[in-house]
Amino acid sequence: MRAVAVHEDLIVLVSAVWQTTASAVRADGEGFLIDSPVLPDELEALPAVLEQAGFPLSGLLCTHGDWDHLLARSAFPEASLGAGAPTCERLARDFANQQQELDEFDEEFYIEGRARLRVEELQALPVPGRLGLGGAHELELHPAPGHTADGTVFWLAWLNVLICGDYLSPHEIPAISPDGSAMAYLETLERLEPLVGGATTVIPGHGSPISGELAAGVLAEDLAYLRALLEHGSAAPLPRGADKRAQQRVHAGNAQRAGA
């Protein structure tokens, strides 16, 4: 796990698996961790990393209900976990599937002894909405369905930082999950465009933090890809990663779910 200092009040922890990101943000004596690293040793080290950096923990947040973003409670078992209301609704019906996917991941990579996912007593947050952080600062919550049926992005206005979950990764093409939607994904990117335009830094769910300028380029490529996908299906050109078999598999699934 790598730690990337974006600002004195924002550290991004990048997992060794899929470059999954967890963002620790603090302001006015409070702090939140958004999403989670993946591997057990990374999660075990997390409390000490945040304590050494002087980051308090008032609670946990997640951008969406995929299992690799839900693991932080294993590091902070007493912490509350907040999620957008659509994510709470999704996990109420989809938790067993997320646990199964985690179990399959651990079996494939010989990981033993991991505790089960803990999503009980989720705090449902309104999306769109705002979450106070200390006194003068707040997180803005914006809806982001498409990759999955749920999704929330967090805008940190005082830092000009966008934490966007599984969107705008320079390493991945847009991925539409079985419960996602190509059209909803397209609409989410269109909503994100002004936020990206005002961002100094964008933190994707997979990949190191990138500049707002680079994120704007990724967004433009992804918009073009999704429009072509909706019109041409599997014949749509990939925005990046065309030579990677994993991304070609993602594209094939996208075409199927886009109905083309």
CA distance 5 to 209: 9
Give DSSP secondary structure letters for 124-178.
Answer: EE-SSEEEEETTTEEEEEEE--SSSS--EEEEETTTTEEE-SSSS-SSS-----T
Nearest CA-CA partner of 139 in 62, 206, 214, 54:
62
The pLDDT tens digits for 27-77 are 988 999 999 999 999 999 999 999 999 999 999 999 999 999 999 999 999
What CATH number was assigned to the domain covering residues 2-257? Answer: 3.60.15.10
Q: Measured between alpha carbons, how far apart are the two ends of the chain, in Å?
A: 39
Cβ contact 46:4 at 8 Å: no
CA angle 251, 168, 1 (to 5 degrees): 100
Cβ contact 14:20 at 8 Å: yes
This prediction's pTM: 0.94
User: How far, in Å, are 81, 82, 83, 88 from residue 122 at the CA level?
Assistant: 6, 6, 7, 7
Question: For residue 26, what is the enclosing H or E element?
Answer: strand 21-27
| Max Cα distance, the chain (Å) | 52
% of residues, the chain, pLDDT over 90: 88
Whole-number pLDDT of residue 229: 95
Per domain, the residue ranges of the chain are: 2-257
CA distance 38 to 35: 10
Alpha helices in 54-84 (DSSP H): none
The pLDDT tens digits for 141-190 are 999 999 999 999 999 999 999 999 999 999 999 999 999 999 999 999 99
